[in-house]
């Protein structure tokens, strides 16, 4: 059990590249913190610095108040689970799990007891004498977990431990991992590029981009109150819709029609001294088929009518895609997001893509007109230059 | 700012220590290789420019390119050179065809794959001299089963054409498995999906082989050919045992050896060494420049993935 | 390749036939020399593939002569020492080539490639004279040195290919599990590298065991003559009326270890032979 503190930690490589810049983060005792971001954002480097596998260039790492920068990995009493699992191929499952205990010169009886206990928890008892090569992906993953928990270390570090599993198994393992962490109550730092994993597992999420922390907060907080365009676009699936908007006479002119500015929003814009041209963000789940919205609710919101471009029916819900005849959104942070997610259509000029989530009972059809309702108070406004969320309240 | 600069210094220090470690690790191997090849090469160039006959040790003197003139106007040298080229070209050509057939067999066979692979490795492992003796006795009249069966009443190893054929047979037998293994590794690089796609596009078995398999394997084939050509050019063991160079069957290696042991003429011997070295360099150059053979060394850089 | 029209039964027959051809091709010369070694002096010239009278007397004869026993000791000793040194040097160099970045790496790889393709005969004349002057001619080191040199490229290639395949992340994992760098090497990396080292050792040993050119050029007596060289001197030796049987027996004796290697380590030898040459 331990508290991990990163105090202005930076990593600069010998070639001058800055991989991680001034991270300030306190992981509380027993907390499950997720480092999430696109590949190359510095999340694995950060984890490796905590592990001691990479040197910290500047700043200080403290575990339980003790400076760790100069300690070898073995003297930090933390365990790590690797993306590739890094199981020793020449050792059996039992030997793999016992390895850290043997190195720590634990008595034989205790080694046996703890390995068997861990195997029981992870449902590996019958595989103890097999080699990693003869195990399935899920079993290997559990052995890697087992090797971490037998030591009862101060903290777990996990580097994309589930990304080599297929989608279904990943879902199952996510649940059992979460349960296991709560049960053991061990401080955990977990790295992933998958925002779903981040949302479902973490007590708190740290969003990283290009070596900089974008935002730290609980999953719900990041979803409801993203601090900038990058976080807004990265968290949530499908991603938030972004459209251009212009403030005119207390109204917001958007491709979805004129939207009155609520008092709350106007106050924020005034306080931030916002420019007239803005980016408006709306989550797909904040739309609904207008035909399914009750009259009195409908009046509180706005509607727009457009032709459905593509309709995806998932059974439990429907996604209606629209191609709006309007200027696409341009912003540096959105370009970054498009680059890392590979979805270049975020920034195409000429048309803007809009995704809306509708109830399964919606009668929407492809290539037919549909009237869609949305709540203007849910929309989020961003500064196109800095990407800052102008309607953010901490 | 200052701290960053200090840290950078520390990093290049780490880089420097990595280099030092690498050099220390490589130094022994590099030293041995250079000492045992580099020095003799220089020395043989030096010797080739001198009159140096161990039977007349008093007559050492610098004679410029006279040794080269002697060797290059000598009909034995040119005969040996022709024989070497002939053996090299014919045996490598046969090996390529047989090796490819063997590789495909090993790649596609349905039964006893392990057995076939193991067995084909045996010629590679057998000492060349042992195999040469086996062929020698097989083709010796009275003693040999092949002499009795194929050429009754004559002694093939006393005729030039037959001798060359037997030398090539022995070479081919010994080195085809090695060729096959290199080609097999190349075959494994041809994705099955590519062949299926070609089949769907209407290509027959032969077309698939010529239009898909061979082009994809080209780098592997060229490397195998380069290795084998240079190796075949060194042919010595088989000739020594089978004919001892009788009836104009000497290779350049054979006549260099004879000159050294029987002639004890180091000047002439070194001249031949230098000439062979130049010939091999030309062959390698032709392969790399004309066929674009990727030197296997270049892959050592890029990593095996 | 997708299944063609031939029926499974016919394909089976075809493959059986092909495999039999391959096996006969590979084994016939070996079986023939073995057969000669078991023939009696009276039947050795009968030209029969299978001996009519079986005898072990040829083997008895060669082990009674100093000429062969001495050569066998030379062969084993020289090949083992050369293998040991070459693999030790190559392991260090291959680790550097596979794992470290340093200027001169390309040069090292290039030089060893040159040596792998070098016409060995070009070295024989100068080495003959250098060794004579240094007193190395006709000694064990006189053969061990060129053997090391010419097997180093092979060993470096094979080993660096193997080393690149080792999942080095395990080294990190071991450190996280509480291992010191030395423990990580000894308990995790060394066991994984061992098969590669062993494979290169086999290949190098086969190379040294096989050599004839250096063995016959750089030796002049029983002091350091290896079996392949000694075999060529059996011919016409007054000690035996007809050396055919004894040469064959000696040939079989030096063939057996290689055949055993091949049988036991087939997979590894294949991996080793092809790793250096075809990668990339």
pLDDT given at position B150: 77
pLDDT given at position A66: 92
Can you tell me the mean pLDDT for A152-179?
91
In angstroms, rounded to a whole number, what is the distance separating the alpha carbons of residues A12 and A58?
Answer: 8
The pLDDT tens digits of the residues spanning B107-128 come to: 877 667 778 888 888 888 889 9
Q: Mind telling me how many Å the CA of A255 is from chain C's nearest CA? A: 51
DSSP letters spanning A214-267: EEEE-HHHHHHS-SBHHHHHHSSSSPPEEEEEEEETTEEEETTEEEEPPHHHHH
pLDDT given at position A8: 94
Please tell me the least confidently modeled range out of A327-331, B39-43, B208-212: A327-331
Residue of A nearest to B13 (CA): A14
Q: Are residues C251 and C198 in the same domain?
A: yes
pLDDT given at position B2: 35
Can you tell me the mean pLDDT for C216-227?
90
Chain B touched by A69 (CB under 8 Å): no
Confidence at B292, pLDDT banded by 50, 70, 90? low
Full domain range(s) for residue A272:
230-382
In angstroms, rounded to a whole number, what is the distance separating the alpha carbons of residues B195 and B208?
Answer: 7
For chain A, the 3-state helix, strand and coil shares in percent, each to the nearest 5, are 35, 30, 35
| CA of residue A86 relative to chain centroid, distance | 24
Q: Which residues pair with A320 in a beta bridge?
A: A311, A356
CA distance to B70, B265, B266, C224, per residue, from B262 (Å): 18, 8, 11, 20
- Would you say residue C196 has pLDDT above 70? yes
Residue of A nearest to C182 (CA): A103
C197 and C271 in contact (C-beta within 8 Å)? Answer: no
A366 and A279 in contact (C-beta within 8 Å)? Answer: no
Residue of B nearest to A57 (CA): B7
- Would you say residue B42 has pLDDT above 60? yes
pLDDT given at position B300: 34
Beta-carbon contacts of residue A367 (< 8 Å; ≥ 6 apart): A307, A308, A309
Handedness of CA A128, A133, A137, A143 (dihedral sign): positive
Q: Mind telling me how many Å the CA of A268 is from chain B's nearest CA? A: 38
pLDDT given at position B78: 93
Confidence at B130, pLDDT banded by 50, 70, 90? very high
Chain C touched by A73 (CB under 8 Å): yes
- Would you say residue C123 has pLDDT above 70? yes
- Would you say residue C279 has pLDDT above 60? no
Can you tell me the mean pLDDT for B27-55?
88
CB neighbours (10 Å) of residue A64? 15
What is the rounded radius of gyration, in angstroms, for the C-alpha atoms of chain A? 24
DSSP letters spanning B62-75: E-TTHHHHHHHT-H
In angstroms, rounded to a whole number, what is the distance separating the alpha carbons of residues C69 and C58?
Answer: 14
Confidence at B293, pLDDT banded by 50, 70, 90? low
Q: Are residues C242 and C186 in the same domain?
A: yes
Q: Are residues C98 and C42 in the same domain?
A: no
Q: How many CB pairs under 8 A join B and C?
A: 333
- Would you say residue B210 has pLDDT above 90? no
Can you tell me the mean pLDDT for A314-331?
83
In angstroms, rounded to a whole number, what is the distance separating the alpha carbons of residues C221 and C218?
Answer: 10
Please tell me the least confidently modeled range out of A56-70, A94-108, A262-276, B265-279: A262-276
pLDDT given at position B301: 33
| Side-chain-side CA neighbours of residue C243 (13 Å) | 18
* Spatial CA neighbour of B93 closest among B4, B179, B6, B34: B179
Q: Of B285 and C80, which is predicted with more confidence?
A: C80
pLDDT given at position A394: 62
Q: Which two tokens stand for residue C182?
A: 């030395």
Q: Are residues A214 and A284 in the same domain?
A: no
pLDDT given at position C235: 54
Beta-carbon contacts of residue A338 (< 8 Å; ≥ 6 apart): A344, A345, A346, A347
Q: Are residues C144 and C263 in the same domain?
A: yes
- Would you say residue C2 has pLDDT above 60? no
Full domain range(s) for residue C101:
63-278
A359 and A292 in contact (C-beta within 8 Å)? Answer: yes
Write down which residue in A198, A229, A260 finishes a domain.
A229
Q: Are residues C18 and C127 in the same domain?
A: no
Q: Which of A233-247, B99-113, C102-116 has the highest mean pLDDT?
A: A233-247
* Spatial CA neighbour of B189 closest among B210, B218, B211, B227: B218
pLDDT given at position B68: 92
* Spatial CA neighbour of C207 closest among B176, B229, B121, B125: B125
A321 and A308 in contact (C-beta within 8 Å)? Answer: yes
Q: Mind telling me how many Å the CA of A22 is from chain B's nearest CA? A: 13
Q: In chain B, at which residue ranges do the beta strands (DSSP E only) sit?
A: 50-51, 61-62
Residues belonging to chain A: 394
Q: Are residues A8 and A79 in the same domain?
A: yes
End-to-end CA distance of chain B: 40
> What percentage of residues in chain A have a pLDDT greater than 70?
96
Q: Are residues A169 and A237 in the same domain?
A: no
CATH number, domain with residue C263: 1.10.3720.10
Write down which residue in A211, A229, A247 finishes a domain.
A229
Find which of C99, C117, C157 to mutate to test the B interface (most B CBs within 10 Å of its CB): C117
Residue of C nearest to A86 (CA): C170
Residues of B in contact with A16 (CB under 8 A): 8
Q: If 0-12 CB within 10 Å is exposed, 13-18 middle and 19+ buried, where does residue B106 land?
A: buried
pLDDT given at position B63: 86
* Spatial CA neighbour of A14 closest among B12, B17, C103: B12
Is A245 contained in some domain? yes
Q: Which of A224-233, A329-338, C240-249 has the highest mean pLDDT?
A: A224-233
Can you tell me the mean pLDDT for C216-240?
79
- Would you say residue C165 has pLDDT above 90? no
In angstroms, rounded to a whole number, what is the distance separating the alpha carbons of residues A157 and B172?
Answer: 58
pLDDT given at position B110: 67
Can you tell me the mean pLDDT for A303-317?
92
In angstroms, rounded to a whole number, what is the distance separating the alpha carbons of residues C67 and C70?
Answer: 6
Beta pairing class for A287-289 and A302-307: unpaired
Q: Which CATH number fits domain B75-302: 1.10.287.70, 1.10.3720.10, 3.40.470.10, 1.10.760.10?
A: 1.10.3720.10
Q: Are residues A180 and A259 in the same domain?
A: no
Write down which residue in C12, C39, C55 finishes a domain.
C55
pLDDT given at position B10: 42
Average pLDDT, chain A: 88
Write down which residue in A174, A203, A229 finishes a domain.
A229
The pLDDT tens digits of the residues spanning C176-191 come to: 898 888 888 888 888 8
pLDDT given at position A60: 94
Cis peptide before A238, with omega less than 30 degrees from 0? yes
Give chain C's domain count: 2
C249 and C37 in contact (C-beta within 8 Å)? Answer: yes
CATH number, domain with residue A39: 3.40.50.300
Residues of B in contact with A13 (CB under 8 A): 11
In angstroms, rounded to a whole number, what is the distance separating the alpha carbons of residues C65 and A25?
Answer: 82
Q: Does the beta-carbon distance from B8 to A14 stay under 8 Å?
A: yes
The pLDDT tens digits of the residues spanning B5-24 come to: 334 444 455 667 778 888 89
Q: Mind telling me how many Å the CA of A105 is from chain C's nearest CA? A: 10
pLDDT given at position A341: 62
B222 and B287 in contact (C-beta within 8 Å)? Answer: yes
Residue spans per domain, chain B: 2-48, 75-302
Write down which residue in C13, C38, C55 finishes a domain.
C55
In angstroms, rounded to a whole number, what is the distance separating the alpha carbons of residues A330 and A364?
Answer: 30
Residues of B in contact with C221 (CB under 8 A): none
Give chain A's domain count: 2
CA distance to A63, B19, C173, C180, per residue, from A100 (Å): 20, 32, 10, 11
pLDDT given at position C275: 65
Angle between helices C121-134 and C140-165 (to 10 degrees): 130
Q: Which two tokens stand for residue A79?
A: 């365990």
- Would you say residue A393 has pLDDT above 80? no
In angstroms, rounded to a whole number, what is the distance separating the alpha carbons of residues C13 and C11?
Answer: 5
> What percentage of residues in chain B have a pLDDT greater than 90?
26
pLDDT given at position A148: 92
Confidence at A141, pLDDT banded by 50, 70, 90? very high
- Would you say residue A147 has pLDDT above 90? yes
Residues of A in contact with B4 (CB under 8 A): 12, 57-58
Q: Does the beta-carbon distance from B4 to A14 stay under 8 Å?
A: no
Angle (nearest 5°) at CA B30 between B25 and B32: 115
C207 and C154 in contact (C-beta within 8 Å)? Answer: yes
**Residue found by looking up tokens 């200080």 in the block:** A60
Secondary element (H or E) of residue A20: strand A18-27
Q: Mind telling me how many Å the CA of A163 is from chain C's nearest CA? A: 16
Q: In what order do the strands lie in the sheet with A58-63?
A: A18-27, A4-12, A58-63, A66-67
Please tell me the least confidently modeled range out of B221-235, C199-213, C240-254: C240-254
Can you tell me the mean pLDDT for C27-53?
83
pLDDT given at position A349: 53
| 3-state SS, residue A208 | strand
Is A91 contained in some domain? yes
Q: Are residues A225 and A309 in the same domain?
A: no
| Side-chain-side CA neighbours of residue A262 (13 Å) | 13
In angstroms, rounded to a whole number, what is the distance separating the alpha carbons of residues B287 and A81?
Answer: 49
In angstroms, rounded to a whole number, what is the distance separating the alpha carbons of residues C79 and A245?
Answer: 82
């Amino acid at each position: 059990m331990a508290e991990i503190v990163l105090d202005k930690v930076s990593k600069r490589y010998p070639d001058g590249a800055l991989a991680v810049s001034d991270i300030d983060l306190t992981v509380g005792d027993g907390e499950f913190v997720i480092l999430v971001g696109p590949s190359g954002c510095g999340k694995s480097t950060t984890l490796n610095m905590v592990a001691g596998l990479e040197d910290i260039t500047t700043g200080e790492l403290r575990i339980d108040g003790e400076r760790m920068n100069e300690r070898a990995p073995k003297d930090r009493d933390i365990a790590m689970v690797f993306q590739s699992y890094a199981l020793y191929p020449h050792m059996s499952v039992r030997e793999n799990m016992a390895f850290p205990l043997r190195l720590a010169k634990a008595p034989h009886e205790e080694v046996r007891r703890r390995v068997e206990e861990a195997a029981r928890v992870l449902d590996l008892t019958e595989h103890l004498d097999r080699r990693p090569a003869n195990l399935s992906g899920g079993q290997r993953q559990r052995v890697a977990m087992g090797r971490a928990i037998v030591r009862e270390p101060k903290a777990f570090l996990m580097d994309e431990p589930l990304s080599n599993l297929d989608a279904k198994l990943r879902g199952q393992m996510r649940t059992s991992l979460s349960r296991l962490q709560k049960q053991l109550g061990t401080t955990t730092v977990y790295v992933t590029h998958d925002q779903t994993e981040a949302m479902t597992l973490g007590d708190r999420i740290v969003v990283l981009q290009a070596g900089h922390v974008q935002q730290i907060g609980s999953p719900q907080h990041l979803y409801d109150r993203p601090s900038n365009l990058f976080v807004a676009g990265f968290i949530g699936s499908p991603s938030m819709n972004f459209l251009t908007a212009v403030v005119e006479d207390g109204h917001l002119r958007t491709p979805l029609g004129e939207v009155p500015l609520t008092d709350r929003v106007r106050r924020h814009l005034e306080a931030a001294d916002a420019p007239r041209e803005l980016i408006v963000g709306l989550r797909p789940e904040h739309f609904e088929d207008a035909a399914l919205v009750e009259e009195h609710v409908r009046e509180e919101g706005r509607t727009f009518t457009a032709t459905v471009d593509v309709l995806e029916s998932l059974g439990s819900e429907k996604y209606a895609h629209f191609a709006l005849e309007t200027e696409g959104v341009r912003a540096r942070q959105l370009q970054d997001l498009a680059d890392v997610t590979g979805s270049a259509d975020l920034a195409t000029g000429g048309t803007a893509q809009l995704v809306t989530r509708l109830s399964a009972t919606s009668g929407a059809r492809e290539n037919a007109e549909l009237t869609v309702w949305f709540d203007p108070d849910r929309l989020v406004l961003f500064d196109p230059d800095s990407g800052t969320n102008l309607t953010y309240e901490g | 700012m200052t701290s960053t600069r200090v840290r950078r210094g520390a990093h290049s220090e780490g880089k420097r220590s990595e280099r030092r470690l690498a050099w220390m690790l490589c130094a022994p191997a590099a030293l041995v290789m250079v000492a045992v090849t580099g020095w003799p090469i220089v020395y043989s160039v030096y010797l080739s420019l001198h009159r140096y006959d161990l039977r007349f040790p008093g007559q050492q003197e610098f004679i410029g390119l006279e040794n080269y003139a002697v060797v290059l106007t000598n009909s034995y040298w040119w005969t040996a050179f022709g024989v070497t080229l002939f053996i090299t070209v014919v045996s490598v050509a046969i090996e390529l065809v047989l090796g490819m057939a063997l590789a495909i067999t090993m790649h596609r066979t349905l039964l006893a794959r392990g057995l076939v692979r193991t067995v084909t490795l045996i010629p590679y492992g057998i000492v060349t001299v042992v195999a040469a003796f086996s062929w020698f006795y097989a083709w010796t009249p009275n003693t040999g089963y092949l002499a009795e069966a194929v050429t009754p009443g004559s002694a093939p190893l006393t005729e030039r054409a037959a001798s060359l054929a037997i030398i090539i047979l022995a070479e081919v037998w010994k080195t085809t498995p090695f060729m096959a293994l290199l080609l097999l590794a190349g075959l494994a690089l041809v994705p099955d999906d590519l062949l299926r796609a070609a089949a769907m596009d209407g290509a027959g078995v032969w077309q698939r082989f010529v239009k898909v398999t061979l082009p994809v394997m080209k780098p592997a084939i060229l490397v195998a050919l380069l290795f084998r050509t240079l190796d075949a050019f060194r042919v010595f063991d088989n000739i020594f045992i089978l004919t001892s160079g009788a009836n104009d069957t000497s290779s350049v290696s054979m006549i260099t050896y004879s000159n050294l042991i029987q002639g004890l003429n180091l000047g002439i011997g070194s001249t031949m060494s230098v000439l062979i070295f130049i010939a091999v360099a030309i062959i390698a150059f032709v392969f790399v420049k004309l066929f674009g053979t990727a030197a296997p060394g270049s892959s050592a850089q890029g990593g095996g993935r | 390749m997708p299944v063609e029209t031939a029926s499974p039964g016919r394909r089976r027959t075809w493959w059986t036939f092909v495999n039999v051809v391959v096996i006969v091709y590979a084994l016939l010369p070996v079986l023939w020399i073995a057969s000669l070694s078991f023939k009696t002096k009276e039947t050795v010239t009968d030209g029969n593939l299978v001996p009519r009278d079986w005898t072990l007397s040829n083997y008895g004869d060669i082990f009674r002569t100093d000429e062969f026993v001495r050569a066998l000791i030379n062969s084993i000793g020289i090949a083992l020492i050369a293998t040991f040194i070459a693999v030790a040097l190559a392991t260090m160099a291959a680790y550097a080539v596979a794992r470290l970045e340093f200027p001169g790496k390309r040069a090292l790889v290039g030089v060893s490639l040159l040596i792998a393709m070098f016409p060995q005969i070009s070295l024989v004349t100068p080495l003959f004279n250098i060794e004579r002057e240094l007193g190395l001619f006709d000694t064990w080191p006189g053969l061990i040195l060129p053997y090391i040199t010419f097997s180093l490229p092979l060993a470096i290639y094979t080993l660096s290919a193997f080393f690149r395949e080792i999942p080095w992340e395990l080294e990190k994992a071991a450190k996280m599990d509480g291992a010191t760098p030395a423990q990580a090497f000894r308990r995790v990396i060394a066991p994984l590298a061992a098969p590669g080292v062993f494979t290169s050792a086999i290949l190098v040993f086969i190379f040294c065991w096989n050599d004839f050119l250096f063995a016959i050029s750089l030796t002049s007596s029983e002091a350091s003559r290896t079996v392949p060289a000694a075999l060529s001197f059996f011919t016409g030796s007054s000690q035996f009326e007809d050396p055919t049987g004894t040469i064959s027996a000696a040939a079989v004796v030096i063939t057996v270890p290689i055949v055993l290697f091949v049988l036991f380590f087939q997979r590894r030898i294949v991996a080793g032979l092809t790793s250096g040459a075809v990668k990339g």
